[in-house]
Amino acid sequence: MSSKEKQAVVSLQNIKHSYDGETDILKGISVDAYEGDVIAVLGGSGCGKSTLLRCINLLETPTHGEIYFLNEHLELSSDKKKKRVIKSPKQLTRLRSRVGMVFQQFNLWSHKTVLQNIIEAPIRVLKHSKADATIQAKKLLRKVGLGEEFEGNYPSQLSGGQQQRVAIARTMAMDPALILFDEPTSALDPTLVNEVLQVITDLAKEKRTMIVVTHEMEFARKVANRVIFLHEGLVEADGKPQEIFGASRNKLLLKFLQKDARIT
C-alpha cells in the first residue's frame, strides 16, 4: 500500500479547548495520524500536550473542532449546560476500546495483581474468556520483558519501569488502533527510562500507531517518523525528525531545543 492510501487512524480538525469557557488552551490544532505513524509531541510545560491527548480520547471534549477516528466522525453536541459532549455513548465506548492511553504515573490498579490488571479490560469490555485473556496477558508480559515471577505481584512490589511496562502490556491487551503516551518515562529514575523506551521502540517496529508526548529528544529523533512542536496551544512546527532537529529555523523551536539539556 502506498503512503497515500494509508488510512488516517485519527484526524483532528481545528481542535480548540478551554477549561474555563474563556481562555483557549488549545487554539486550533489540526493533525492527522496515519497507520503506523509514530508522532512525537514536544513542547514546554503548560503548552497543552496533555490536553491534546485527553481531547483525542475524549477524556476532555474539545470545545471546538471535529475528530474523525478510523474515518468515523465523532458526533459532538451541546448538553443543557452548553457543555460539548459526545452524542452517542456507544460511539464513546467504541472509541475508548480502540484507543489506549499510557500515563506518566502508570495508573495501575493498586489492589489488583499484574495479571489481573492486564486481563480486566479484555474480559469486561471485549468479553474474552478468562482463560484466553490470561494466555494473552502472559504473552504480553513476556513481550515487555517481564517473566512469570511478576504475574502475582501487586504494583507496589514493582519498580517504576516495571510498572510502566505492565501498563503498556495492559494497553496492548485491548489491541488498540492508536496508543497515546503522556510522558511515559518522566516519572522514572533515569536508570529505568531505557527499558520503557525500548518497549515503545519495539511497538514502533511493529508499526503500531502512536502519539507520544515526550521530553526524550534522542528517542523522538530515532523512533518517531514525525515530530510536532506545540507552543501555547498551537502547532508551531511539524515535520520529519531530521527537519525538526536539524533544519528548522523556527525560533521558538530552536529556543526550546537549546533549553532541553537532553539533546546533545
Ligand X SMILES: Nc1ncnc2c1ncn2[C@@H]1O[C@H](COP(=O)(O)OP(=O)(O)OP(=O)(O)O)[C@@H](O)[C@H]1O
d(CA 246, CA 233): 23
Q: Could you tell me if 253 and 229 are in contact, meaning their C-beta atoms sit under 8 angstroms apart? A: yes
Binders of Mg ion among residues 165 to 224 (CB under 5 A) are none
Asked if 163 is part of the footprint of Mg ion (rule: CB under 5 A), the reply reads no
Quote the least distance from Cβ 43 to ligand X, whole Å.
6
Asked if 51 is part of the footprint of Mg ion (rule: CB under 5 A), the reply reads no
Residue type, 255: K
The phi and psi torsions of 33 (rounded to 5 degrees) equal -110, 125
Quote the least distance from Cβ 45 to ligand X, whole Å.
3
Instruction: Pull the grid cell for residue 149.
Output: 515471577
d(CA 15, CA 257): 25
Quote the least distance from Cβ 104 to ligand X, whole Å.
8
Instruction: Pull the grid cell for residue 106.
Output: 502508570
Quote the least distance from Cβ 231 to ligand X, whole Å.
10
d(CA 178, CA 58): 13
Give the contact letters, 36-75, x = binds to ligand X (CB under 6 A), - = no. -------x-xxxxxxx------------------------
Reference 55, options 17, 92, 21; nearest CA is 17
Rule CB under 6 A: choose which of 7, 19, 152, 254 binds ligand X: 19
Query: Which residue, 66 or 232, has its beta carbon nearer to ligand X?
Result: 232
The option from Mg ion, ligand X, none interacting with 51 (CB < 5 to 8 A, set by class) reads ligand X
d(CA 254, CA 231): 12
Asked if 259 is part of the footprint of ligand X (rule: CB under 6 A), the reply reads no
Asked if 184 is part of the footprint of ligand X (rule: CB under 6 A), the reply reads no
The option from Mg ion, ligand X, none interacting with 100 (CB < 5 to 8 A, set by class) reads none
Q: Are strands 72-73 and 76-78 parallel, antiparallel or unpaired?
A: unpaired
Rule CB under 5 A: choose which of 33, 39, 50, 170 binds Mg ion: 50
Query: Which residue, 107 or 153, has its beta carbon nearer to Mg ion?
Result: 107
Selected range binding Mg ion among 33-41, 47-55, 189-197, 245-253, rule: CB under 5 A: 47-55
d(CA 189, CA 145): 18
Q: Are strands 178-182 and 26-34 parallel, antiparallel or unpaired?
A: unpaired
Asked if 180 is part of the footprint of ligand X (rule: CB under 6 A), the reply reads no
Reference 230, options 243, 210, 244; nearest CA is 244
Asked if 134 is part of the footprint of Mg ion (rule: CB under 5 A), the reply reads no
Q: Could you tell me if 162 and 146 are in contact, meaning their C-beta atoms sit under 8 angstroms apart? A: yes
The option from Mg ion, ligand X, none interacting with 19 (CB < 5 to 8 A, set by class) reads ligand X
List of residues contacting Mg ion (CB under 5 A): 49-50
List of residues contacting ligand X (CB under 6 A): 19, 25, 43, 45-51
